[in-house]
Amino acid sequence: MYARSTTVQARPDAIDMGIAHLREVVMPELMGIEGCIGLSVIVDRQSGRCIATSAWETEHAMRAAERPVESIRRDAADQFGGAVDKVERWEIAVLHREHQAAEAAGTRCTWLQLPVGQIDRGIEAFRTRVLPAVEEMVGFCSASMFVDRTADRAVSAIAWDSQDAMERSRDQMAQLRASVTSDIGAQVLEVAEFELALAHLRVPELA
């Protein structure tokens, strides 16, 4: 399974309009493209940062859809009153759902730089150390890890039942993150918290 993430820098007052456009226009268009299986959107209403992620059955399907998706992406950025900041392509290495997250739940993303050639070690650490720990935390919904093997980069996304549950997990997650990344020699590039505005990624269990 593969994913394409598009980061848009939106006008904060246009975020709801952009989300509605993604739900009503973009998602049906994407689902009509062969190989696309879902879409999720996370937003930071204060900064205007919005990340839309489409999921694909194969890397070939994702690459084959580049041209039609380009115009869809441009139109969506217009609806958000902003511009496309970057587009990233990932392999979906891990996905586990305790239960389906409701829209407006919280999502914390962590971007990592791993040592050269250590992506599989990072994936294993996420599966064997992070997942068991977060499953014990109150309000946990789901966890995923995407990787870019060519750049030795990874991003994890952990969804929580509510913004409050995400906030309550903050200290525990910081301690867990510090321990795991230290052990595998990974550099934390960024940690950011978002509202889960659209939760229809539809990727099967990959834990």
Mind listing the pLDDT tens digit for each residue in 19-47?
A: 999 999 999 999 999 999 999 999 999 99
Predicted TM-score (pTM) of the model is 0.94
The string of DSSP letters for 193-207 reads EEEEEEEE--PPPB-
Q: What domains sit in the chain, N to C, each tagged with a CATH number? A: 2-200 (3.30.70.100)
The string of DSSP letters for 13-70 reads GGHHHHHHHIIIIIHHHHHTSTTEEEEEEEEETTTTEEEEEEEESSHHHHHHTHHHHH
Q: What is the pLDDT of residues 58-93, one digit of tens each?
A: 999 999 999 999 999 999 999 999 999 999 999 999
Q: What is the largest CA-CA distance in the chain?
A: 44
Q: Is the pLDDT of residue 204 over 80?
A: no
3-state secondary structure of 8: strand
Note the pLDDT of residue 207.
66
Q: What is the pLDDT of residues 44-67, one digit of tens each?
A: 999 999 999 999 999 999 999 999
